[in-house]
Chain A
Amino acid sequence: MNRAIVIGGGADALVAAQVLARSGREVMMIESDTGLLDEGWVPPKVLRELKIEGLELRWPEPWASVPLAAGGRLELSRDMARSVESIRRLSERDAERWPQFCERMARLARFMEKIYSAAPPNPLDIGFAMQARRLGRRGLTDLLRILPMPVAELLDDWFESDALKGALGAAGVLHLLQGPRSSGTGLRLLHYHVGCPPGVFRAPRSNILEILRRMPRVELENTEVQRIAVRGGEVAGVVLEDGRELEASVVVSSAGPRRSLLELIEPGWLDPELARALRHVRRRGVAARLRLQLDRSPGFAALALAPSLDYLERAYDDAKHGRVSRAPYVEAHCDERHRVEALVQYVPFGVESSQLQEKTIALISEHWGDAQPQHAELAAPRELEQFEGWPEGQPHQAELALDQALWMRPHPELAQYRTPIRGLWLCGPAMHPGAGVAGASGLHCAHAILGR
């Protein structure tokens, strides 16, 4: 049986399925169409391999509008000169430093892009060390310092304007139960910078899912997997919701490592130590999602309510103690049809959040002028788990924290996409390089299966 079954319908699963199909395997995808992320940079390697053309990466313009206490907004744009002008109204010194900061960060992002374009590096490997050296002495020093440091300290090193630091610092904590003063958040500023033009620190959206879906060669089945069948330590296929059993010699799961290995396979196949470690893979959802329709343009493309690092940190303090942030971080994106999608952070999983919808609308509405909301719907992490299938409401399946990144993503023994069950492989947002980079883990996983 040379069939490969791919579980899940996201970009990673689709890429893995395509690569396997093109190697001559019969591939079947079992997908349920909820919970898909269309966020993230698509590495050129993915495009080349699947000969994808017509990919559009979209960033809001400006990519962050931060309302200022004194009135007006700080607007961060892809256009360096415009950003500088906007920053200059807050701080002459910051405006001068902005291009230099962007240049230093972009340099590191280019390095991260290389790291993300392959399976996780072995930190002890001489090749990795040589690759890192190409950053040059200053670049490597920056990298070694920035990856483990709190994003707040990095920003404090460079800037004095609270609004600027707030907008940038938010990248350090998106979907993470940490505040900007927590170590390791520096890594995330770079993570959300990969694939972006200098001066943009948010993952783009794209049409990658549509493109991948249109590709032929893969049989699709829209249902749920009940169990992954294992015989003699080897994958045998999957059992579907309706009880049908499909045989396969290879199963690729993008359902997340905890679900794939602890829930979908029968107990007793995994080393108990690894099972224990998997139960400790952190995947705590911290953001609610508000969707609403406005009757006219709100006058922003991407509104970021992050007046300062302290504001973010205080929002985290609430969540740390198990409460919804009294003053949450809100990032609201509006498309051309005036649909607004806002991320509201921090909202811990399972915490009472009934007033949150009104409160969030009130927070945003201050900045949308005369627009009127027509339909609004807020989903807290518990609803996101229920409706999108994100366990604990965490879309990344495994938090992108320092100890769950790179060769430790989601756990060192699983980082190379291979599992202890022969024939069972993992891809998806929980695998290196992780959420925010579309298709890459699917590509690396398929390459590992094919022994490339």
Chain B
Amino acid sequence: MAAAAYDAIIVGGGHNGLVCAAYLARAGRKVLVLERRERIGGAALTEEVFPGFKFSVFSYVVSLLRPEIIRDLELPRHGLHILPLESTLTPLPNDYLIQWNDHDQNRRELARHSLRDAEAYDEFGLMLHQMARAVKPLLAMAPPDPTSLAFGELLGMKRLAEHFRALGAKRFNQLTKLLTMSSAEFLDEWFETEALKATKSASGIIGTLLGPRSPGTAYVLLHHYMGELDGVFRAWGFAKGGNGSVSAAIGAAAQAAGAEIRCNASVQKVLVSYGKARGVVLENGEEIRAKLVVSSADPRRTFLGLVDEKHLPGPFLESIRRFRFRGSSAKVNLALGELPDFTCLPGRGPHLRGAVSISPSVAYLERAYDQAKYGEPSSEPYMDIVIPSLLDPEMAPPGKHVMSIFVQYAPYHVNGGWTDARREALGDAVVNTLSQYAPNLKGAILHRQVVTPADIERIVGLTEGNIFQGELSLQQMFFLRPVPSWAKYRTPVSGLWQCGAGTHPGGGVMGASGRNAALQILGAA
């Protein structure tokens, strides 16, 4: 048998794969990253889709990237520059709601809608801050296995129990509520303004095929709040140069640490012999040997694609088959000749520099979900919009703009499957809905790109187009992610590890899975 040329091969050059590679390389391991496409980045990618117009084609904001990764890998030195998003505008049929970063400005705007909500807002923020603090240590943890009687696992569970106990009864109770409630009902306990509840609860549905009234979505809301935790750091924002520059910075950090990155290298199989991973075979037949193989691909691609089923135990396979993806979101990227002019708030004000959320009410979101439940894209979807060219003028030709629209729900399992006609119909629904609020939009569009869940699957390789590599629902979280007893980045095949967002703590350009996996690998050796 040929000697292992590398200590570790990372399958997939998305941000988690690159983070994992960087940490392993920094620890002195000889690492090779294999990326199927012609460039690294996975779903964190900037492309000049139309001449002069650059887009973060898929993921589009940096909200959750773990501060410790930015610090450890010195990402600013490798080119990461995060520009703050200072507001969220929710246009309404005859009004608007803006949430501002500035406390006084925000309070004034909320008070216009509800004095009670303006008052509750600070307390709500404080509570989420405390919840985020309570959850933060879990993000950097390899979840212990509650079903195991092994000493290490029991110790892990004991530590976990101690951590929760140390929160005190009040905060622990709040946390369990947050874990088990729906985001809409959770917000009902705090606010009365529909647009506020809807806009906040929308962060609880991102990446899942659940409505804001379904339990479990409140936690996802917290998940999206995590990025706001480190106030000084302010990781919430837009990466200068688009999200491709996040990948580029991590890639550069990995290379600077000695990792090798090969693009156009599509892995066909993980080589397994005598129950141990020995390397990979590329689609062109090339074999590369390594002591370890770390897959950043999602659980289905990894275990039902890259590894021969015969190497995996039956119950494990059954669980992997049951792991739910159900991509539910799409992206529409627009090249604009002029800025959108919102009827509710005309002109080029500071509100355009923040996010724009099409979420007028919880019922609106639920109606959007109702259609998706039965296999139809929402005819009036929830949208989260940013205009990156206002923050980073280099994203578009002078005077022109790019607009990034995250769209939900666009179910992967659409009736009759995704076709070109379906794709264009989705684009039309998005533009028509948005035009209700900004009538000049249609005339301003120079080019349009619509990315459906099927496109995300085809281009980036995310199963069913799920942006989190698997739904972030209660039964697929923490020690259940992706599969009970295999949540610690190991797999039933010795020497094969997983480091993608399909593992704890999940997706959102967080990088935590990649880092946790690397630390587990280093700890195991």
Contacts and interface: CB of A to CB of B under 8 A. Distances in A.
12 contacts: A129-B161, A137-B147, A140-B147, A149-B474, A182-B182, A182-B210, A183-B182, A183-B214, A183-B474, A310-B374, A313-B373, A321-B366
B214 A148 contact: no
A144 B213 contact: no
Pairs of residues from A and B, 9 with the lowest C-beta to C-beta distance, nearest first: A148-B474, A412-B173, A183-B216, A403-B180, A184-B215, A149-B475, A402-B180, A183-B215, A141-B484
B214 A182 contact: yes
A375 interface: no
A313 B374 CA distance: 10
Interface string B73-100: 0000000000000000000000000000
Interface string A355-368: 00000000000000
B157 interface: yes
B158 A133 contact: no
B284 interface: no
A321 B215 contact: no
B480 interface: yes
Interface SS majority for chain A = helix
Interface string A129-162: 1001100011011001110111001000100000
Given A124-B165, A282-B185, A144 B180 contact: no
A148 B216 contact: yes
B119 to A, nearest CB: 13
B474 A124 contact: no
A289 to B, nearest CB: 25
Which of B164, B169, B215, B367 is packed against the most chain A CB atoms within 10 Å?
B215
Contacts of A144: 146-147, 475, 479-480, 484
Given A182-B215, A184-B216, A412-B173, A133 B475 contact: no
Interface in A298-339: 310, 313, 317, 320-321
Interface string B232-271: 0000000000000000000000000000000000000000
Contacts of A268: none
A408 B370 contact: no
Interface in B480-500: 480, 484-485
B189 interface: yes
B3 interface: no
A126 interface: yes
A145 B480 contact: yes
A408 B169 CA distance: 12
A178 interface: yes
Nearest to B213: A320
Given A141-B147, A412-B173, 13 more contacts: A126-B161, A146-B475, A149-B474, A181-B373, A182-B213, A183-B215, A183-B216, A183-B473, A184-B474, A186-B475, A317-B370, A402-B216, A408-B173
Interface string A398-439: 000111000110001100000000000000000000000000
B10 to A, nearest CB: 29
B363 interface: yes
A280 interface: yes
Contacts of A408: 173, 176-177, 180
A355 B210 CA distance: 32
Interface in B178-201: 180-182, 185, 188-189
B509 to A, nearest CB: 25
Interface residues of B, number: 42
Which of B180, B210, B217, B484 is packed against the most chain A CB atoms within 10 Å?
B180
Contacts of A150: 214
A123 interface: yes
A317 B213 CA distance: 11
Which of B146, B157, B363, B473 is packed against the most chain A CB atoms within 10 Å?
B146
A148 B172 contact: no
Nearest to A404: B180
A403 B215 contact: yes
Which of A157, A403, A412 is packed against the most chain B CB atoms within 10 Å?
A403
B108 interface: no
Interface string B331-349: 0000000000000000000
B300 interface: no
Interface in A158-178: 178
B324 interface: yes
A237 B324 CA distance: 55
Nearest to B218: A403
A171 B181 CA distance: 20
B136 interface: no
Interface string B310-323: 00000100000010
B180 A184 contact: yes
B149 interface: yes
Contact of A183 (B169, B176, B210): B210
A123 B176 contact: yes
A145 B164 CA distance: 21
B127 to A, nearest CB: 11
Nearest to B167: A124
A381 B242 CA distance: 54
A277 B214 CA distance: 20
A181 B217 CA distance: 13
B215 A129 contact: no
A124 B162 CA distance: 8
A63 B176 CA distance: 35
Nearest to B160: A124
B215 A402 contact: yes
B226 to A, nearest CB: 20
Interface string B399-430: 00000000000000000000000000000000
Nearest to A141: B484
Contact of A403 (B177, B188, B315, B485): B177
Nearest to B208: A183
B189 A124 contact: no
A137 B486 CA distance: 13
A412 B484 CA distance: 27
B358 to A, nearest CB: 19
A182 B181 CA distance: 11
A178 B215 contact: yes
Nearest to A405: B180
Contacts of B189: 276-277, 280
B148 interface: yes
Contacts of A183: 182, 210, 214-217, 473-475
A280 B215 contact: no
A124 B161 contact: yes
A100 to B, nearest CB: 13
Contacts of B164: 124
Contact of A153 (B176, B180, B188, B324): B324
B221 to A, nearest CB: 14
Nearest to A154: B475
Given A183-B474, A403-B181, A408-B176, A141 B366 contact: no
Nearest to A142: B484
B322 A148 contact: no
A385 to B, nearest CB: 21
A413 B189 CA distance: 16
A148 B157 contact: no
A403 B214 CA distance: 12
Interface in B353-372: 363, 366-367, 370
A124 B479 CA distance: 16
A234 B363 CA distance: 44
A321 B373 CA distance: 15
Contacts of B322: 157
Contacts of B158: 126
A121 to B, nearest CB: 13
